[in-house]
Amino acid sequence: MPTDNKRIAGPEDSISYRLFKETSNESVLSKINNLKNNIRSDGRKTNEQRKIFLKCGVVSQAKGSAYFEVDNTKLIVSVYDPREIPKKTDYSLKGELFCIFKYAPFSCPNRRGHQQDAEEKQHSAIMKRALESAVCRHEFPNFQVDVYVLVLENDGSALSGAITAAGIALAQAGIPMYDTITSATLAIQGSTKLLDPTLEEEALCTIATHKSDTETGYDSHGIIVLAILSTHEQISEFYQLGNLNLDTLNESISILMNATKEIVPLVEKCLVDYVNKTFKANGQS
Amino acid sequence: MAKQFKSLHPTKFYRDYLNQDIRPDGRLVSKFRPVIINIGSIATADGSALVRIGKTTVICGIKAELCPPKPEKPNEGFLICNVELPPLCSSKFRPGPPSDLAQITTRFVADLILNSGCINLKDLCIVKEKLVWCLYADIICLDHDGCIIDACLLVLLTALKTVRLPVVQYDAAIDKKTIDASVKKCLNIYNTPVSTTYAMFEDKIITDPTTEEEEISSGLLTVVVKDKELCSIHKPGGSPLSEEKLYECINETVNHADLLITLINTAVSECNDDNKNC
Amino acid sequence: MNLCEAEKTFILHGVEENFRVDGRERSQYRPMELETNVVAHAFGSSRLRLANTDVLVAVKIETDVPSVDQPDEGKIEFFVDCSANATPDFEGRGGEELATEIANSLTSAYRSTKAFNLSKLCILKGRKCWKLYVDILLLECGGNLYDAVSLAVKAALWNTDIPRVLAVNLDGNNVEMEVSDNIHECVKLDIVPAPVMVTISKIGEQCVVDPSAAEEQCATASMVVAVSQDRFTTVLQSGSGSLHPSTLRESLKLGLEIGSKLDQALIEVLKQKPAKKQIGFLM
């Protein structure tokens, strides 16, 4: 690991105190069992999303920006003017999106580094793929639009939130788009499908468990992120992790399609509110 | 029309305004922008705060970790603070390693915290030579509209005052650490350094400049005070400044500092009322 | 390689007629050649040629300290190197994006404990574990990299020998371990459930598998499906493009079907590994 002499580095071997908290293995299993019986720790129904707060125009310096909050998941997205693609020799007919997804160092239970790690890079790539099919890229050939995401606090479903928020920020920035883009996350443990999982639920759904105490076979588990262009019914990104069979996947697609459609009115309202506000402000001056 | 004039002749545009003793955003020359402080908004951090000065927004989260101390300072903990100016906050910054401004701000804030003695690193010691706290304070700018040092300092101090650390039992013989998260302790903050920034524009001194004003100005000056005393002055080049004017700025900062400190204390005490177990 | 509109239409019509440019059907793979144990100093290796796509995989093993979150698990890391020989686009840092994308997809596909059990790689809980470095070198790109890479990785891991640990002693804070001297005394990993990836491209109205480089350019969207024993471990899209839910369902079904067949065929081939050649003195 090369030393980073542009920041102040801490001691090499510091570890989070949370690791020394007393946690028993049993509690994890009982939590998973609760999930399998459709009981969520925050009392939600399995197909219930958390309340979403959306606001655009939060960063004054940016062309477009949005803030997204569901309970404890908080993130901010900003979009800047198109600029020429750096270090590019040949001409590209289609413009590009440049996405950076970053967790703030203090946003997760364990501290994150300042530089993007593999997971953040992967999330950036997923966002890029999801957003590129929503943007009319032929309108700005040989240019790139920068999309920056910073997760201030992560309590699950951060990636899907980032995609939804980035869609709003792009729209506010006046980047030509085909459609509004919305996204949702589903976590699966056994036969339970949890919409909009919290961080704890996400962690529990990456653990493979046995079907029951007597059987040795493993149960389904996994996480799915789906992004959709709602008017055109086009899936712009589908990303799945874990271990699932075909039937579960098919069911999940239906659940996620509905969930993403529920978010569309919120996105539209957020943008309409912004337009109204700007009109009023312009009318006064 | 005003818009075109502004982009063609920014300096003249600005001078015309100042000749009428008013600034384009409607403020008087020596008027501060409103300050908003929000605390404890990040649950995953051990202490956090958000500060807005006008449109400038910074957030600070403090994460506490455990580590052995340095051999040369066996009874001192660590406070590692970094200022991040990500490309998210302004088009001036590009992705990649920290910009020069970010490095300068980081260094200035870090040195100031250590030199002002507002926090005693010995308080962070758990067991001498064995185990100390390491506080990582990460300050991230979300919206860069001038006076970044002021905002960083304000947010860091506020966040430090909200830090709650659990009690640690350490058995050196078997290297075993146990955490009691039910009891949490505050950190002792011995004083509160606060700063204000001024921009020099021709013969005038402008208080609390925005990014636009910082860019057309001929020089910047940051004055840091604590307990009504001068703590530090940061003047990175630019046009010269008369002694008289400097004194004026210091006095103004001292007066404004009271307001800022009251603001911090109000915010923090409201939080303390919420959880009395501190 | 850039195709003109006429060429694209030709490919499109071929796919529509279920008779692709190289004579294949839509769900047919190109011929494959697999060789294992090709790199002498690696713990396991393989080389896979899928028509013009050429991939070399080598597995190296080192000891490491388990991560604090998972003290009873070993580690596996994938690294993809795009050789500039493969295509001129990879010169300089050109291939980096593709390389990280392939490496990330492998990491996701191997993440589930059911697909690849890392706990077998643990030597002493919280203290010592094996770390597998899977290095993937792309020698030539002729389309369908994900499938070729995943097959080659599975074959290389199948071929991997992990040294047998005879004893582990804890001396204060140091872990001492004794490894069998006999180089033939090794442990094999259980690689049967390891995932195999299938790329499905949507060309025109149809879904095809194993697209060639030319066909990849005509695709409106591509899905990569990682299949492990009739279950999905990862599904992701490659390249930009969007698709209708019904297309997604269709391609998932096709992917599962093809993936299972491919997996079976691979395991069959790997099982009939030739008996160790006796290399006699002066032969």
Interface probe, candidates A3, A5, A7, A70, chain B, greatest B C-beta count within 10 A: A7
Looking at residue A217, its pLDDT comes to 64
Mean pLDDT across C206-222: 89
Interval A178-220: pLDDT, tens: 999 999 999 998 888 999 999 988 988 888 776 655 555 677 8
Task: Give the start-to-end residue ranges of the domains of chain C.
Answer: 5-271
Looking at residue C188, its pLDDT comes to 84
A283 pLDDT band, cuts 50/70/90, is confident
Asked if pLDDT for residue C40 goes beyond 80, the answer is: yes
Interval C84-106: pLDDT, tens: 888 777 777 778 888 888 999 99
Task: Write out residues in chain B with pLDDT < 70, as ranges.
Answer: 272-278
Interval A1-51: pLDDT, tens: 456 788 888 888 888 887 777 665 667 778 888 888 888 888 888 888 999
Tell whether C114 is within 8 A of chain A (Cβ).
yes
Cα–Cα distance between B249 and B108 in angstroms, integer? Answer: 19
Q: Enumerate the residues of chain A whose CB falls inside 8 A of the CB of residue C111.
A: 206, 241-242
Looking at residue C121, its pLDDT comes to 87
For domain C5-271, give the CATH superfamily. GHMP Kinase, N-terminal domain (3.30.230.70)
Q: Enumerate the residues of chain A whose CB falls inside 8 A of the CB of residue C119.
A: none
Interface probe, candidates A225, A236, A243, chain C, greatest C C-beta count within 10 A: A243
Looking at residue C1, its pLDDT comes to 65
The answer to whether C133 and C61 have CB atoms below 8 angstroms apart is yes
Asked if pLDDT for residue A131 goes beyond 70, the answer is: yes
Looking at residue B277, its pLDDT comes to 44
Least CB-CB distance to B89: which of A10, A22, A61? A61
Instruction: Tell me if A128 and C240 make a contact (CB, 8 A cut-off).
Output: yes
Interval C159-186: pLDDT, tens: 888 888 888 887 777 778 888 777 777 8
Q: Where are the beta strands (DSSP E) in chain A?
A: 15-16, 52-56, 64-70, 73-79, 83-84, 96-103, 143-153, 181-189, 192-195, 221-229, 234-244
Instruction: Tell me if B178 and A108 make a contact (CB, 8 A cut-off).
Output: no
Instruction: Tell me if A150 and B145 make a contact (CB, 8 A cut-off).
Output: no
Q: Enumerate the residues of chain A whose CB falls inside 8 A of the CB of residue B162.
A: none
Percent residues over pLDDT 70 in chain C? 95
Task: Give the β-pairing of B131-143 and B78-84.
Answer: parallel
Q: What is the mean pLDDT of chain A?
A: 88
DSSP A56: E
Looking at residue C82, its pLDDT comes to 87
Q: What is the mean pLDDT of chain C?
A: 86
Least CB-CB distance to B142: which of A18, A22, A76? A76
Question: CATH: 3.30.230.70, 3.40.50.1380, 1.10.10.10, 3.40.1010.10. Which one for A41-283?
Answer: 3.30.230.70
Looking at residue B278, its pLDDT comes to 43
Instruction: Tell me if A22 and B178 make a contact (CB, 8 A cut-off).
Output: yes
Asked if pLDDT for residue C131 goes beyond 70, the answer is: yes
- Quick count: other Cβ atoms within 10 Å of Cβ A283? 7
Mean pLDDT across A214-228: 81
Looking at residue B162, its pLDDT comes to 92
The identity of residue B248, as a single letter, is E
The answer to whether C238 and C254 have CB atoms below 8 angstroms apart is no
Least CB-CB distance to A244: which of C231, C236, C249? C231
Tell whether B178 is within 8 A of chain A (Cβ).
yes
3-class DSSP assignment, residue C141 = coil
Tell whether B162 is within 8 A of chain A (Cβ).
no
Tell whether C67 is within 8 A of chain A (Cβ).
no
Tell whether C112 is within 8 A of chain A (Cβ).
yes
Nearest chain A residue to B80 by CA: give it: A10
* Chain B: closest CA distance from residue A244 (Å): 31
Cα–Cα distance between B211 and B57 in angstroms, integer? Answer: 13
A285 pLDDT band, cuts 50/70/90, is low
Nearest to C207 by CA among C279, C258, C140, C283: C258
Mean pLDDT across C242-261: 91
Domains, chain B: 26-277 (3.30.230.70)
* Chain A: closest CA distance from residue B254 (Å): 29
Cα–Cα distance between C164 and C184 in angstroms, integer? Answer: 9
Instruction: Tell me if A109 and B44 make a contact (CB, 8 A cut-off).
Output: yes
Mean pLDDT across A102-107: 94
Asked if pLDDT for residue C283 goes beyond 50, the answer is: no
* Chain A: closest CA distance from residue C169 (Å): 24
Chains with at least 3 CB pairs less than 8 angstroms from chain C: A
Nearest chain A residue to B131 by CA: give it: A14
Q: Which of residues 203 through 262 in chain B touch A, CB cutoff 8 A?
A: 211
Cα A162 from chain centroid (whole Å): 4
Side-chain half-sphere exposure of C22, counting CA atoms within 13 A: 15
Asked if pLDDT for residue C145 goes beyond 70, the answer is: yes
Cα–Cα distance between B232 and B225 in angstroms, integer? Answer: 7
Nearest to B124 by CA among B170, B71, B165: B165
Q: Global pTM?
A: 0.91
